[in-house]
């Protein structure tokens, strides 16, 4: 039964609604102001010379590269030329996943299709690039047959066969493997912060150690990496993830598991205002103190919520790249920086984080025509300014 609204009560309700509306609009306006505050038209993004990113990085003992799709590399000569020119390391965006679209590595439980990975290894070798593998054990991009065929009785054998076959085939040819990807998710509520994945369900918490041991046995020369995202900002969610990832890494090291590095995906947000250099620096140091190296494995900056104006957008994106890398490259345990893609023409963000205004997204360092953007300058500047010792 609704209580008759007195005049006073309706007045309070009205005021409340206005305040809420005002706040909401204010928040929206506040956010817009904050985003524009990141836009500093006076900021200097100048770069000396035209050396490639791989050259600038290598002069400071850092490896720079990118994730590229095999079909794009094959079909787009301009992209291929840009990859060869800018990258010192190459990682297939799809070819080593159990199953993504056109060329699944694992079409069925008894076979492997290495054609895409082999093509990309050939490209890397032709251009004197290092080659890295992504990823052996992940809860995504599993083939349809996985759910139908894998169970607690055969899961260990299937995991063993996969890692032995894939890692064994490329032994001695791989710089590093993302052995396990995105195994931490505190939101899933487990005390150990592990993500509830099919692998955890089928094999228990040992699946991570076991995967690393299998990879080490199959290729003793490869650097073995645990890879994850959401580790970058001063937010409760990212702090919880950093804590859980550190706990995982400490556990792996304490059991003598052959893990050599943490992969920080670094999918950044141009709109983010909670970037805290001190927090990030502290996390990197904590990882390094475990005796681990660090790779920035999937760097990009979404412009999803940035203003339409490309001058403003490109500035804010470039700032995000340079500010982040300035902190990251201070940590000597950081050995590599890879962007997730090279050109705005080919980015997962077009499909996965499209702009509401449907404008083409501009998260990467080359534009659709493979021309260097301000983000390229930002990354080049970060390498050039790095106080690492110069290596000729
Ligand atoms: O091209 C097909 C299309 O024909 C089909 O209709 C559609 C629906 O099945 O799928 C399309 O392929 C999708 C492909 O992206 C191209 O958009 C695949 O399903 C989809 O799985 C694939 O997503 C990839 C995703 O990983 C899952 O493997 C992205 O390209 C790739 O950039 C993304 O990369 C991940 C890293 O591996 C791990 N870290 C996060 C990163 C971004 O999500």
Residue nearest to atom 21 of ligand 1 (CA): 100
Q: For residue 392, what pLDDT band results from cuts at 50, 70 and 90?
A: low
Domain 51-385 indexed as CATH 3.20.20.70: no
Q: For residue 2, what pLDDT band results from cuts at 50, 70 and 90?
A: very low
Which residue in 281, 380, 391 sits closest to 53, CA to CA?
380
Q: What is the pLDDT of residues 312-331, one digit of tens each?
A: 999 999 999 999 999 999 99
Give the number of the atom of ligand 1 that is nearest the alpha carbon of residue 298: 39
Give the Cα-Cα-Cα angle 380, 385, 387 (nearest 5 degrees).
Answer: 130
Q: In the prediction, which pLDDT does 36 show?
A: 72
Residue nearest to atom 42 of ligand 1 (CA): 348
Asked whether 97 lines ligand 1 (CB < 6 A), one says yes
Q: In the prediction, which pLDDT does 391 show?
A: 60
Q: In the prediction, which pLDDT does 35 show?
A: 72
237: buried, middle or exposed (CB in 10 Å: 19+, 13-18, 0-12)? exposed
Query: What is the pTM assigned to this prediction?
Result: 0.92
Q: What is the pLDDT of residues 219-270, one digit of tens each?
A: 999 999 999 999 999 999 999 999 999 999 999 999 999 999 999 999 999 9
Pocket test for ligand 1, best of 66, 72, 101 (most atoms within 8 A of CB): 101
Q: In the prediction, which pLDDT does 101 show?
A: 74
Give the number of the atom of ligand 1 that is nearest the alpha carbon of residue 347: 32
Distance 100 CA to ligand 1 centre (A): 7
Asked whether 228 lines ligand 1 (CB < 6 A), one says no
Report the percentage of the chain scoring pLDDT > 90: 86
Listed by start position, the domains of the chain span 51-385
Distance 31 CA to ligand 1 centre (A): 30
Contacts of residue 351, Cβ cutoff 8 Å, sequence gap at least 6:
none
DSSP 8-state code for residue 6: P
Strand partners, 225: 178, 261
Does the active-site annotation cover 160? no
Q: For residue 302, what pLDDT band results from cuts at 50, 70 and 90?
A: very high
């Amino acid at each position: 039964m609704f209580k008759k609204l007195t005049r006073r009560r309706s007045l309070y309700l009205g005021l409340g609604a206005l305040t809420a509306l005002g706040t909401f609009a204010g928040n929206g306006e506040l956010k817009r102001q904050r985003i524009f505050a990141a836009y500093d038209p006076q900021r200097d993004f100048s770069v000396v010379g035209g050396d490639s990113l791989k050259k600038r990085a290598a002069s400071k003992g850092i490896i720079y590269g990118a994730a590229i799709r095999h079909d794009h590399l094959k079909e787009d000569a301009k992209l291929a030329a840009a990859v060869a020119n800018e990258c010192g390391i190459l990682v297939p965006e799809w070819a080593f996943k159990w199953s993504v679209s056109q060329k699944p590595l694992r079409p069925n439980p008894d076979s492997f299709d290495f054609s895409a990975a082999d093509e990309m290894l050939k490209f890397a070798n032709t251009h004197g690039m290092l080659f890295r593998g992504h990823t052996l054990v992940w809860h995504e991009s599993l083939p349809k047959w996985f759910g139908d065929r894998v169970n607690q009785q055969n899961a260990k054998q299937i995991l063993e066969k996969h890692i032995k076959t894939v890692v064994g085939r490329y032994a001695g040819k791989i710089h590093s493997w993302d052995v396990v990807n995105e195994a931490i998710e505190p939101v899933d509520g487990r005390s150990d912060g592990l993500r509830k994945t099919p692998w955890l369900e089928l094999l228990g918490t040992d699946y991570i150690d076991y995967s690393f041991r299998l990879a080490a046995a199959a290729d003793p020369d490869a650097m073995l990496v645990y890879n994850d995202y959401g580790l970058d900002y001063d937010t409760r969610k990212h702090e919880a993830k950093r804590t859980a990832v550190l706990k995982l890494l400490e556990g792996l090291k304490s059991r003598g598991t052959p893990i050599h590095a943490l992969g920080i995906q670094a999918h950044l947000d141009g709109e983010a205002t909670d970037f805290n250099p001190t927090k990030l620096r502290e996390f990197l140091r904590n990882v390094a103190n475990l005796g681990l190296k660090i790779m920035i494995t999937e760097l990009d900056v979404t412009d999803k919520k940035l203003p339409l104006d490309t001058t403003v957008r490109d500035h804010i994106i470039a700032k995000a790249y340079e500010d982040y890398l300035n902190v990251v490259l201070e940590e000597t345990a950081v050995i590599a920086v890879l962007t997730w893609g090279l050109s705005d023409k080919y980015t997962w963000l077009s499909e996965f984080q499209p702009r509401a205004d449907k404008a083409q997204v501009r998260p990467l360092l080359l534009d659709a025509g493979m021309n260097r953007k301000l983000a390229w300058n930002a990354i080049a500047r970060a390498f050039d300014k790095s106080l690492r010792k110069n290596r000729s």
